[in-house]
Amino acid sequence: SSGINAEWPLRPGRRNTARLLRNLSFDTKTHTALVEYLPQIVYPLVGGEEIDEEDMDKLPIDLQYLPEDKCREPDLQTRTYLSDTLFQMGGTYSVREKYREENYYELLKNYDQWEEDDDARERIQNTIYLIVQNDGEVDLRKDGDVPEGVEEAEEVVIVKREESEKTSVENMGS
């Protein structure tokens, strides 16, 4: 399998690649391009757990039948960046569909059970939540497009909140 290789000796290189992927994932316009690299993004988080045949067949070919001794990425920060990337990408409908169609749930569930760091576990659990929830419960976007008026409404709420805070502060001073 290509991509971020856990056996690659230069840990800073892997971490920087993962950081770059995470930063790219903050822009929803990149999700359709990044989705082509999902197997490489997920590969460092995958171990050699046994997966039943039916679930295995749904996985991308690069993630099928990995050796039992396949090691996960040893660097916590790199794993965190990759989890963040998967979560950000999961904000796009077509990516969530790909997660479901290609059974990424199985791999991420195994990673969640393996991960010992609470913060890292919470991050991957957020991605798992996106996969298992009905799309109507996840967000308003479909492929990164925000419905008309939503951005304006959010700005109005922020402005009203700021005005409310100013009023509260002014009232405290009198």
pLDDT tens-digit profile of 11-22?
Answer: 778 999 999 999
Which residue do the tokens 């109507």 mark?
136
Are the CB atoms for 3 and 40 separated by under 8 Å? yes
What six digits make up the tokens of 157? 């709420």
Please provide the average confidence, as pLDDT, over all residues in the chain: 80
Encoded amino acid at 1, one letter: S
* Confidence at residue 11, expressed as pLDDT on a 0 to 100 scale: 72
Phi, psi of 163 (to 5 degrees): -65, -40
- Whether the full predicted model's pTM is greater than 0.75, yes or no, is no
Rounded (5°) CA angle 145-101-50? 135
